[in-house]
Every structure is written in structure tokens, then in C-alpha cells.
A and B are shown apart, each in its own frame.
Chain A
Amino acid sequence: MGRKLDPTKEKRGPGRKARKQRGAETELARFLPAAGDENSKRLSSRARKRAAKRRLGSVEASKTNESLGTKPSPGKLPKEAVQTPGKKGTQALFNAARDKKHPVPAHSSDEEEDSEDDGTVEQRDLWGSEDSDADMVDDYGVDSDSEEADGEELLPIERAAQKQKAWEAAAGAQWSEEETDEEDEEGMSPESGPTKDEAEGGLQINVDEEEFVLPPAGELDLDAQAPDLQRVHKRIQDIVGVLRDFGAQREEGRSRPEYLGRLQKDLATYYSYGDFLLGKLVELFPAPELIEFLEANEVPRPITLRTNTLKTRRRDLAQALINRGVNLDPLGKWSKTGLVVYDSSVPIGATPEYLAGHYMLQGASSMLPVMALAPQEHEWILDMCCAPGGKTSYIAQLMKNTGVILANDANAERLKSVVGNLHRLGVTNAIISHYDGRQFPKVVGGFDRVLLDAPCSGTGIISKDPAVKTNKDEKDVLRCAHLQKELLLSAIDSVNATSKTGGYLVYCTCSVMVEENEWVVDYALKKRSVRLVPTGLDFGQEGFTRFRERRFHPTLRSTRRFYPHTHNMDGFFIAKFKKFSNSIPQAGTGNSATGTSTDLDSPDLKGQIPPKSENSSQPAKKAKVATEAKQPLQKRQRSNKASFQKLNGVSKGAESELCTVPSITKVQASSRLQGSSKLPGKADVTREPKMTGKLKKLRFSKKAASPRQSALFKGRDTGTPAVQPLSETQATPRLKDRGQTLGKAKGAGKAKQQFPEEPGKKAKFQDSGTPEGPQVPTQVPTVTPRRSGRPPPAKRRKGASQQLF
């Protein structure tokens, strides 16, 4: 295999020697079109192939390569790729997709070429051209120019372009054939349904939006198994478009719920939500806003941090961080200590400033409850669920390390982070404890302010924790709501209403569900003597006062809701309460009623209640049955409001509590006095206005009733003598008990409307001391229901008036 030394033989091929420049003649010879040269050359098989290829042009050669399915030579491909990259690519895809189903276009173009070329020889060359090496010379098939039979001065490129167009036309025709086939079917078959309206919707959405067809309700299984997300997304947008202008754009025969149902399923598929949670969100937001909300949940919120003013100022901190390479901005005009970080070249949680405790990484929405709480210096503050300590440290910095903060959390592992954070930030006035929040007023109470950041279902922080989308269920939400209610009641009981500077409670959750927010707040308003006050945050959406079938107290307008898509912070809910009395009502609608009716003169209310409670607490402590003769009467008056059964149960309960916790008994008894919430069978909707009405009526009727009652009593004496002894015996022990509890209740006395009446009644009824005994059973109809055929006409009148409500 020696090298043949033949100077006449031209060096051909892709090697280095072939590339060497030989001289003008030889170079020119290769370029000049010379059929004679070609024929005179001793062409090797490879040379022949190359020549043929050059003549045909690269396009056809590549086509034949692919359509024939043979392995294309690696050498050839790069050359062709260089020459016509785009065409090759599309054709490769096309050929691969169609899988030789439609060899016609390729062969048609090949035939075109074949007509130009010589017959079989060229065919063979086409076949064989795969193996030849790529020429380094890019001559664009110049040789084949001489062989044009068309008479047109087309370059091979142009010819290839023409063929491309022809192929595309053919392809288009074929695709449209397929589509029309599908459209012909009447959209009942599952597979075609979605494609059909996708096709229609897709084709026509730009032209005519009315034609969006809702796929039939039955099929969705296809989507469940292998959802085509793009299609689903398109359908979502179409449906929202239709819903926006439903009258005009609806499809005949399809109802709105069908569209909505479809939208819900599609959203669940596209954003991977569980059905329960998505159903809840659909109830909360209208369709376009819902999509914004869902989109916002896919994207994380910007990182924000809060300057620790105990150690530095925001200006200095910003400067220091910028020097380190952090890109940041002040958070907004509502915050004096917040900074938002756009990007950072250093880890933001590991800078020396962070280690020195100059700032805390905290979400923007988590700064809001503390701003609402507005802690003052030298106060006692309780933070019931404090982990990881961001809000606690903010409270401490607002108080400038004065006063005392009790930071509590039920989770021991998370408490370690609280300890770490508080030490790092230089908080010295904090005591950290590990109690269940519900134990609170028992352990220690009487705080000036309380912050309750209740554990919740986390539907506002889906962007931080996407698992919430699927793992939250009805049970979880209700369990959370129950826990939140308990915690909130404990928190309310831990606030000292008579605090000089405080008496406030802030309840917040990072959830957008109504069950965890407005419902819990409304519950607390009914159960305790608290009132909602403005949070002091001037932005954010107002809380709902009504939601689907529920109706809430109108003051819920002062609560605030925040959403990721409107405020670019985590979903949040904040409510600020003011406690106006330390007594716990038994059934507190009276309180809420007084709250609403006297909202306008709240300063008066505040002023009146505490001193009254203090005054009356003393007589309560010295409750004596004999002296408190008026109390049974009061009780009777007030019991009109309460259900009779409840009265009985409540009195018994009050007795037991007498032994244990005097303050609570008093409170509970007073709640009984207010005792208006448990009207059996009355809807919540009607409760408050009715309550105010009732109070007024009661006030009115009491005065009227008393003389009537005494008269009636006299009548009764004669009328039912047999009954009386029994009633008396029953009455007296009861009287004693109730006297005590009533005394306390009276002492706690919340409904201040009652107070002015007491002296009057006292005067009246002290005269008729004994009648109250037998009168008492009228108040205990569960024991003697028949006997009080006598809640004598007066009673019945009241009862009647009750039933009017």
C-alpha cells in the first residue's frame, strides 16, 4: 500500500493534501464548468457520487437520504447542513413525523430532479450518494447548472426553495384534511370533542370569539389521564372570555354552571390544585381574579427584610448591604423599617449584618399585624404563637426593649429558633415559654396587648408551600377554625380591659378562607365582650360582612384582607379587637348588640363599663340572698330573652363554677343575664337587630310588666293554691343559688341599659318580697312547664313578643 507517485493525478477528497493550493490552473479547473473535464476525468466511485450530488443540489440528496431511511453519511450531512440548514431541519422533522406515510412529496421533488438528471444512473447515484464524503468546496451544485432542462435560470437554492413551498402546500393540505375529518364528526366522540373545539376555538378565537364550544360534561377522563396543558390553558382563557360577556357569547343550550364547572376542573388540572381547595377559591374570587390569584401563587413573593432599629437605622443598613452587593429598595411608604431585596450577590441570610442582628428576614405581610397592634413602651404584651420570632422582635423594637413580652409557642423545636432570633436581634425584654395557647389566662393573664398569629391552613402562602394545594381538606380547615376559636377566646381572656394604655388584641392568620377569618372573628364578637376597631392600616381589602349563606357583624368591615395578586405579599387577614369589659358573658349576643348600637358613642361605653364593673364587683362578692331580692326579678326579666331550658342549665353550671372560679361564675351569670343568644330556632341573620329591638322592648316591658306581674301573681294565688307550695319549695333553694349567681351577674352587669332600671325595680319589688318566690318557678318552665300556664299573660305577652322575633 505504498503511495503512488503520480503527479498528474489530482489529489481529491477531504484530506489535507487536497486542500493544498496547487496553482491557478488547477484551482480554476475545478471551478470552471467543463463537462468535458468531467468526462475526461477518471472518476472514482466516490468522485462520481460527489459529482452527482453536486448536480442534484443538497436538498434532494438529503431528502432521499431521509426518506430512504438509510444512515446518512456524517460527512455529507454537515455539508448539507451548511448549505440549507432550515429546510433540512423541517424536512427531517416532517419526514420523521410522517414516517414515510407520505413519500409523495419527497418523491415528487425527486422526480423533478430525476427529470433533469439522467435516468437510472442518477438514481443509483442518489442511492449511493449517501456514502460519499462531504466536499469541502461549497459550490452550491454549480455543476448542475448546465443540466437544467427547464430553461429557467434557477440556482439550486431557488429550486430547493420551490420544492419546499410545494411540499409545504402539500403538507398543509394534508393537515387540513385531518382537521376537517374531525370536524365532520359531531363532537360526540371523546377524542374529537376537545380537539374540535380547540381547533375551532383556536382557529376562530382570533376571528370570532363566539364560537367557543364547551366540551360535553361527560368527557374529561382523557384530560385526567394525560392532560395537554396547553389545551387546558387555552380552554381556561376561552371560558373566562365567554363568562365575561356571557349573554352574547354563550353557547346555546349550555348553562353558566356548566361553564363554571368546566373552568373549575380545568383550573384544578392546570395549576394542580385539589378539588376542595379550588372550590373554596372559586367561591371567594370571580373568575378573572381567580386566575390572577392562582398565577400569583405560582411565583414566589419578593424577599423582604426588616431593619432592627435596636441596633441600626434603615439608611445605614441599606448602605451597608448595597456595599456588599445587594440590590434593594425601601418597602413602601407604609413601612419605615422594611426593605425589599431584588437580587443579591451574597446570601442575604448570612451577611455579617445579619449575624450581628441588624435585620430580620420577614415577609411584608408579617409586619402588618404588629403595626396594627401598635405596642407602647412599658406595656406587658403576650405573643401567643410567636415562632420563629419575627413579630415578637418587631414588637420589642417598637417598645425599645422596655416593658415585658411573653413570647409563647406550642412547638418546642420552633421555640429554639425564637430563642436564637431574639438573642441575635438583641431583644432583652422577652420571656419565652412553651405553653399551649389555650392555657393562657390560667397561667398568667392581664396583659395590655395580645397578638395572636393563629395556626391556619396556610392558603395565603401557597407560593411558599405548594403542598397546601392538595393536602388541605374540609376537615383540616374546620379543625383549624376550631383551634383558632379556642385560641382567640383564650387570648381575649388574657387581655386586661381596664389597662390604661391597652386592652387591644390583634388576631391574624396567613389564610384567605372565610372559615378561618371572618367566621372566627364573628364568633369571638358573640362570645366575649370585645369590639372590632380599625386596624390603622390604610390599605388592603376590607373583610367580608357577608359571605354566601353566612352573615357577619357589620364591624367586620374594619378587618383587613391581603392577597398575593393585589398587594404582592402573602395572603393575610388582620383583625384588631378592643376589649371593653373584663367579664365574660355567658352567651354574648347582648354584647355584640350593645357593641353595635353604641358604637357611635364608644368613648362613653368605654368609660362606663369599667367603672360599673368595678363598682358592682364588690356587691357581687358579698352576695347575700336576702338582700338581693331584686335579683330574681331581674333574672326573670332577663330570662325572657333566654330560652327557658338554657336558664336551668345555666344556673346549674353557674353553681358549680361558684365553687371553683368566682370571677368566671360572675361572668357567666352575667352572660346569662344578657342571655340573649340562645333563641332556639332563630337564625343568626336576624339576631342582632332583633336583639336591640328586644332590649328596648324589654326595658319597656319590664316596667310595664312589673305591676302587671304582681297583680297577676295575686290572681294566681287564688287561682292555683295547690301548685304554689310545690313551687315555693322548689323556688327557695333555687332562689338562693340564683341569688348568689345573680348577685355576681348583676355585679358583672354588662348591658348597661339594665342598670338604670334596677333601682326602679328594686323599689317596686322589695315591697313584694315573697311573691318573688312563687314567681320564680315561672322562670323555670322546664321544671314546671304546665304550671306556668302562668308565665301569666304578662309572661306570655313577653313570650309572644319573643315569638314575634
Chain B
Amino acid sequence: MRPLTEEETRVMFEKIAKYIGENLQLLVDRPDGTYCFRLHNDRVYYVSEKMLKLAANISRDKLVSLGTCFGKFTKTHKFRLHITALDYLAPYAKYKVWIKPGAEQSFLYGNHVLKSGLGRITESTSQYQGVVVYSMADIPLEIL
């Protein structure tokens, strides 16, 4: 477990900024304490500082996971966000897409959403924009 290097931090924040824009600071300074990112086995974990003290005692090969995994760095050092980051990105998402109840089930089980299944969408969403998908009940479903 180690803190992220400058380069890695930059890459990761660029990626996250696609979804939540400048609200990144809100991720780090939370009302219930400071959180930080740590890298372990090419995966980025989002942990609170209280945990770091305990986690430091665990040897690297025995540590499996800590806090929440946000995503991982690929072999070519690109950052890929995981579904596990959804809960943190969803409240701050800039562009949202809502899908209708009928299409929700199909989407959850892996299929594409047709245009008819689209319920709402934030206005002025550009093409290929990173979005967060919600159900009509405002439950975040996916980061796309």
C-alpha cells in the first residue's frame, strides 16, 4: 500500500473529473474525516485516514482490500473506474441519464438500452460524455 504518485494522481483525477467535474475536493474533505487514496496491487482504494494506521500493520502480500476500491490502473497506466465507485460519484455527477422501468431490468442484466428506454437526460449532454445512469427511482445504477 502506498500513496499515489503525481502522475497516477493526475491520471485518476482526470478520469474522475469527467463524471463529477470540479467536485473532486468534496471527495477528499468529507465531513466525517479526511479520506485519501492509496494504491495497492495496481488498484486505487479510497480510505479514511483512521484506517491507515491499522492497515499499515498488515504486510503487503497479505493485504487484500481496504476501504472502497475506486478502480485500477491498467498495464499501460490508464485508469479504469469500477462500479464500486458509484456510491461516491453519484451524488456529484454532472450528467445523468435516467432509464425507464421497463428497460431497467434489461440494462441491469447487461443489455443495451434503446432510445425508447431512455427516460430523462440532463440537458446539453454532449456525445461520448461520461454519465451516471439512474433508475426512475433515482437509484444510481452504473457509471458509463
Stretch at the interface among A229-237, A429-437, A606-614: A429-437
Instruction: Give every chain B residue within 8 A of A361 (Cβ-Cβ).
Output: none
Q: Which of B130-144 contact A (CB under 8 A)?
A: 135, 139, 141
Q: How far is the CB of B112 from chain A (nearest CB, A)?
A: 17
The answer for the CA separation of A423 and B45 in the assembled complex, in Å, is 11
Q: How far is the CB of B141 from chain A (nearest CB, A)?
A: 8
Could you tell me if B62 and A431 are in contact, using CB atoms closer than 8 angstroms? no
Indicate whether A355 sits within 8 Å of B67 (C-beta atoms), given known contacts A431-B58, A434-B62, A443-B57. Answer: no
Q: What is the number of residues of chain B that contact chain A, defined by CB distance less than 8 Å?
A: 26
The answer for the CA separation of A96 and B96 in the assembled complex, in Å, is 76
Q: What is the number of residues of chain A that contact chain B, defined by CB distance less than 8 Å?
A: 24
Could you tell me if B108 and A423 are in contact, using CB atoms closer than 8 angstroms? no
Could you tell me if B54 and A443 are in contact, using CB atoms closer than 8 angstroms? no
> Quick one: CB contact mask for A53-75 with B, threshold 8 Å, 1 for yes?
00000000000000000000000
B66 within 8 A of A: yes
Could you tell me if B69 and A444 are in contact, using CB atoms closer than 8 angstroms? no
Could you tell me if B65 and A431 are in contact, using CB atoms closer than 8 angstroms? yes
Task: Name B's interface SS.
Answer: mixed
Q: Which of A414-453 contact B (CB under 8 A)?
A: 415, 418-419, 422-423, 426, 428-435, 443-444
Could you tell me if B48 and A352 are in contact, using CB atoms closer than 8 angstroms? no
Return the contact of B63 from the options A423, A429, A433 (Cβ within 8 A). A433
Instruction: Give every chain A residue within 8 A of B57 (Cβ-Cβ).
Output: 443-444
Instruction: Give every chain A residue within 8 A of B48 (Cβ-Cβ).
Output: 428-429
Could you tell me if B58 and A444 are in contact, using CB atoms closer than 8 angstroms? yes
Return the contact of B54 from the options A402, A423, A428, A444 (Cβ within 8 A). A444
Could you tell me if A431 and B66 are in contact, using CB atoms closer than 8 angstroms? yes
Return the contact of A433 from the options B51, B62, B84 (Cβ within 8 A). B62
Q: Which residue of A lies closest to B66 (CB)?
A: A431
Q: Which residue of B lies closest to A416 (CB)?
A: B64
Instruction: Give every chain B residue within 8 A of A380 (Cβ-Cβ).
Output: 54
Q: Which of A359-394 contact B (CB under 8 A)?
A: 380
> Quick one: CB contact mask for B107-123 with A, threshold 8 Å, 1 for yes?
01000000000000000
Instruction: Give every chain A residue within 8 A of B64 (Cβ-Cβ).
Output: 415, 418-419, 432-434
* 10 other A-B residue contacts (CB within 8 Å) besides A419-B64, A428-B46: A356-B139, A356-B141, A380-B54, A423-B69, A423-B84, A428-B48, A429-B67, A430-B65, A431-B58, A431-B65
The answer for the CA separation of A434 and B57 in the assembled complex, in Å, is 13
The answer for the CA separation of A300 and B105 in the assembled complex, in Å, is 30
Residues of B in contact with A (beta carbons under 8 Å apart)? 32, 46, 48, 50-51, 54-55, 57-59, 62-69, 84, 87, 104-105, 108, 135, 139, 141
List 7 A–B pairs whose Cβ atoms lie within 8 Å, in order of A's numbering: A415-B64, A419-B64, A428-B46, A428-B48, A429-B67, A430-B65, A431-B55
The answer for the CA separation of A418 and B46 in the assembled complex, in Å, is 17
A406 within 8 A of B: yes
A268 within 8 A of B: no
Q: How far is the CB of A588 from chain B (nearest CB, A)?
A: 28
Most B-side CB within 10 Å, residue of A403, A404, A422, A430: A404
Instruction: Give every chain B residue within 8 A of A433 (Cβ-Cβ).
Output: 58, 62-64
Number of inter-chain CB pairs below 8 Å: 63
Instruction: Give every chain B residue within 8 A of A426 (Cβ-Cβ).
Output: 87
Return the contact of B66 from the options A356, A430, A434 (Cβ within 8 A). A430
The answer for the CA separation of A489 and B93 in the assembled complex, in Å, is 49
The answer for the CA separation of A429 and B54 in the assembled complex, in Å, is 11
Could you tell me if B54 and A419 are in contact, using CB atoms closer than 8 angstroms? no
The answer for the CA separation of A422 and B50 in the assembled complex, in Å, is 18
Q: How far is the CB of B100 from chain A (nearest CB, A)?
A: 14
The answer for the CA separation of A215 and B123 in the assembled complex, in Å, is 86
Could you tell me if B51 and A352 are in contact, using CB atoms closer than 8 angstroms? no
Q: Which residue of B lies closest to A423 (CB)?
A: B84
The answer for the CA separation of A434 and B46 in the assembled complex, in Å, is 20
Could you tell me if B66 and A432 are in contact, using CB atoms closer than 8 angstroms? yes
The answer for the CA separation of A433 and B62 in the assembled complex, in Å, is 6
Q: Which of A577-601 contact B (CB under 8 A)?
A: none
Instruction: Give every chain B residue within 8 A of A402 (Cβ-Cβ).
Output: 32
Could you tell me if B67 and A428 are in contact, using CB atoms closer than 8 angstroms? yes
Could you tell me if A428 and B68 are in contact, using CB atoms closer than 8 angstroms? yes
Instruction: Give every chain A residue within 8 A of B55 (Cβ-Cβ).
Output: 431
Could you tell me if A431 and B54 are in contact, using CB atoms closer than 8 angstroms? yes
Instruction: Give every chain B residue within 8 A of A428 (Cβ-Cβ).
Output: 46, 48, 67-68
Instruction: Give every chain A residue within 8 A of B139 (Cβ-Cβ).
Output: 356
Could you tell me if B51 and A431 are in contact, using CB atoms closer than 8 angstroms? yes
Could you tell me if B58 and A443 are in contact, using CB atoms closer than 8 angstroms? yes
Instruction: Give every chain B residue within 8 A of A356 (Cβ-Cβ).
Output: 139, 141
Q: How far is the CB of B113 from chain A (nearest CB, A)?
A: 15
Most B-side CB within 10 Å, residue of A402, A403, A430, A431: A431
The answer for the CA separation of A428 and B49 in the assembled complex, in Å, is 12
The answer for the CA separation of A428 and B46 in the assembled complex, in Å, is 9
Q: Which residue of B lies closest to A358 (CB)?
A: B139
Could you tell me if B104 and A429 are in contact, using CB atoms closer than 8 angstroms? no
Q: Which residue of A lies closest to B61 (CB)?
A: A434
Could you tell me if A406 and B67 are in contact, using CB atoms closer than 8 angstroms? no
The answer for the CA separation of A403 and B139 in the assembled complex, in Å, is 27
The answer for the CA separation of A590 and B73 in the assembled complex, in Å, is 56
Q: How far is the CB of A388 from chain B (nearest CB, A)?
A: 14
